[in-house]
Structure 1
Amino acid sequence: MSIQLIVDTGSDLPQHVIDENNIEVLPLVVHVNDEEYYDKETIQPSTLYSMMKDGAVPKTSQVPPERMKSLFEELASKNQPAIYLTLSSELSGTYQTACLVRDQLVEEGVDLDLTIVDSRSASLGYGLIAYYVSQKIRDEKTDTEQVVTYTNTLIDKIKHIFTVDDLEYLVRGGRVSKAAGFVGGLLKIKPVLHMEDGKLFPLEKVRGSKKVLSRLMELIDERGSQFENQTITISHADDLTRANELKAMIEDQLNVKNVMVNTIGCAIGAHTGPGTLAVYFLNGDPDTE
C-alpha cells in the first residue's frame, strides 16, 4: 500500500499539486476580528490581506488536535501507512501536538503506522520538500524508512530567502525579535530574511524594490546549486506582479528545471503581512544525498 503524505496549510502548496499527488492537508487556525477560521477552508488569503490592510491584527494557532485525531483514526481503520510532515516546530506547536495525539492513540491500542517529521521549514519551502517527497512516494518500492531518510536529506538542503514590506508584522507575532524591527518604511528599505534551524532571522537591508529582486537572485546563486534538476518555488502575499518578475529572472538567469509560484496562505501571511515575497531552493540535487 502506498504511503499517505500529510501536510498542514503552513506548506502553501498549490491545489493542483495537492490533488495530483493525493496529499492530505490539515488546516491551521486563524483568529481575526474576534472570529476563528480554518486556513484555506473558511478563510482565503485575499480576504485576510484585505482585513490586515484595514488594520486587523490576526493571530494563528496550531492544527486542532481533534482534526488530527479524526484523520489518524481514519488512517488506522484503513491500515494506511502515513507520513505527516509538519510546519517548523519553531513556528508552530503542530509537530509536538501531532506526536502527542499519535502516541495517545497508540497507548489506547490503535494500530497506527504514522511517522511525524518536523520540516523545520515554512510556506513553499516546506511545500517544496513535500512536493519532492510526494514524488518519491510514487515509487511503490519505496518504504517509509527510505522516504523519511530522503525527507531529512531535503530538510538539510532547503534554503529560504524572503523580503517583507514591514518587519512589524513579524515582530508583533514574535517571529523575529523586537531588536530586529529597525527598518523604516519611509526610507524604502526592504529587510531580507532567511531561515536557519526552523527559525527566522534578518539577513540584511536593501534599499528599493528593484534592488531587492536583484539581491534575491544573487543569494539564490550563492546559496543554491545544481539548479538544472530542481524546482524553485516562489510564494507571495498579494504581490503576484513581483513574484512573476522574480520568476522571469530565475528562468532567464538560471538553468532551472521548473519554477512554481503560489500565494502565501493565511497561517503564514498573518505573520509576514501583505507584500511579502519569498523564494525557496535547494543547495544540491534533490535526488542525491
Structure 2
Amino acid sequence: MKIAVVTDSTAYLTPAQVQAAGVTVVPIPVILDGNVYDEGKDITSAAFYEKLRGAKTFPNTSQPPLGEMLKLYQNLANEGYDTILSIHLASTISGFVNTLKAAASEVQNAKVVVYDSQITVILMGELVLTAARMAQAGADIDTIVAALDDLRATIGEYFIVNDLQNLVRGGRLSNAAGFIGGMLKIKPLLTFDDDSHKIVAFEKIRSLKKAYGRVEDLFEAALATVDYPVKAWIIDANDPEAGDAWLAEMQARFPAVNWGRSYFGPVIGTHLGEKAIALAWIRDQAATR
C-alpha cells in the first residue's frame, strides 16, 4: 500500500515541515475587495491583514475548484499511490470536506479517503504530520485513520477575539445570540464544541488581561484531567508581540508542556479578525513515540 497525504493551507505547516513529511498542500482561496488570493501562494499573512484594514468590503473564503482537486488526486494515482488520505478543515466551518467526499469515487485506480479534522490551524497540521509519518513507516490506511481519531480526541483550544463581527457575518458562529451586544467592552471566549464541533462563544470577559487569565485556568484544569504529555501553541492573528509575550508567560507557568508558536493565516483570520489570539493543545506525539 502506497499512501499519499493531502491537506489544505489552513494547517499552517512550515515549508520545511511540508517537504520533510512529503505532503501536498492545497491553497484555500480568500476573496478581498473582489480579488481572489490563494492562501500561502498569492498573499502573505502580513499583506492580507494590511489589506484587510483598508478593505471596502467584508472578506470571505471559497473552496478550491473541485476539478483541480480531482486532477490532483488523479495525478497522485498515476504516480502509483493506491490510497490518498485527504485531511481538511472542519466541515462545520467549510463545506470542502463534504464536497470532496461526494466526488472521491471519480478518481481512477486509487481510493480517496477524505478525513474531517473537526478543527483547523496547526492542530490539523499535527494530524497531517502524524498521518504522513505513519504512511512513511508503512502503516495501512485503517490504522492511520484510527490513530487520527484517537489523536483528534485529545485536541483542546480557546480563542480570544476582539469581537464576533467576522464570525457572525460569515455564519461560522452557532450561538451568536446573546454575545453580540456591547462587543467593544468585552472579550468573548470561543471554542469548538466537543459534541457539535461547531465554533461557540461560551463566556464574556471584561478585559483582555482577565481573558488571558481565564484561558490559563481552563488550560490548567484540562491538564489535570489527562495522563499523557501535551503539546501546546500560542496562535495569533497578526499580533506576534502579544503572542510571544503570552508564550513566555505560559512556558514559565507550565514548564512540562511542549510549547510552540503558530499563526492564523488569511483564511482563518477572515473569520476571527485581526488580533485574535488562541491557546491550543493536543497529545504530544513526539513524547509518546
Same structural fold, with TM-score higher than 0.5 when normalized by the shorter chain: yes
The answer as to 2:88 corresponding to 1:86 is yes
- Identify which of 185, 191, 198 aligns with 1:194: 191
Change (3 A) 1:6 1:216: same
Q: Does 2:125 match 1:123?
A: no
Corresponding pairs, count: 281
Asked if residue 234 in structure 1 is aligned to residue 234 in structure 2, the reply is yes
| Aligned-partner Cα distance in 1 for 2:281–2:216 | 11
2:205 and 2:262 map into 1 onto residues whose CA distance is: 24
1:179-213 deviation line (CA, Å, top 9, x unaligned): 144253442x2111000233100021122222222
TM-score by length of 2: 0.88
Q: Could you tell me how far apart the structure 2 residues matched to 1:218 and 1:70 are?
A: 47
C-alpha displacement of 1:228:
6.6
Q: Which amino acid aligns with 1:146?
A: T
1:96-111 to 2 correspondences below 5 Å: 96-105=98-107, 110-111=108-109
For the Cα contact (< 8 Å) 2:131–2:148, is it kept in 1? Answer: yes
State which drifts further: 267-276 or 129-138. Answer: 129-138
Aligned mates of 2:99, 2:161 — CA distance in 1? 29
Write the mapping of 1:1-289 to structure 2, written as runs, cut at 5 A.
Answer: 3-55=3-55, 56-80=57-81, 81-105=83-107, 110-138=108-136, 140-176=137-173, 177-187=175-185, 189-196=186-193, 197-224=196-223, 226=226, 229-282=229-282, 286=285
Quote the offset at 1:103 in angstroms: 1.3
My pick for the range that moved more, 140-149 or 11-20, is 11-20
Say which structure, 1 or 2, has more relative contact order (CA 8 Å, 6+ apart). 1
Q: TM-score, normalised by structure 1?
A: 0.88
Q: Distance in 2 between matches of 1:233 and 1:263?
A: 9
Report SS of the residue matched to 1:157: coil
Render the CA deviation track for 1:52-75: whole Å, top value 9, x for unaligned: 222441111112212211210111
Distance in structure 1 (CA, Å) of the matches to 2:130 and 2:259: 13
Most deviating of 200-209 and 5-14: 5-14
Matched to 1:237, the amino acid is A
Aligned partner of 2:10: which letter? G
Residue 15 (structure 1) shift: 2.9
The answer to whether the 8 A contact 2:2-2:80 is kept is no
CA-to-aligned-CA distance 1:36-57 (integer Å, 9 cap, x gap): 1211111222222122222441
- Structure 1 unpaired stretches of 5+: none
**Aligned with 2:177: secondary structure?**
helix
Q: Percent identity?
A: 25
Q: Which amino acid aligns with 2:95?
A: G
**Against the structure 1 CA distance between its residues 135 and 242, is the aligned structure 2 distance closer, same or farther, given a 3 Å change threshold?**
farther
Q: Structure 1 CA distance, aligned partners of 2:253 and 2:135?
A: 31
Change (3 A) 1:143 1:61: same
| Residue identity opposite 1:155 in structure 2 | R
CA distance in 1, matches of 2:99, 2:151: 23
Shift of residue 235 of structure 1?
1.9
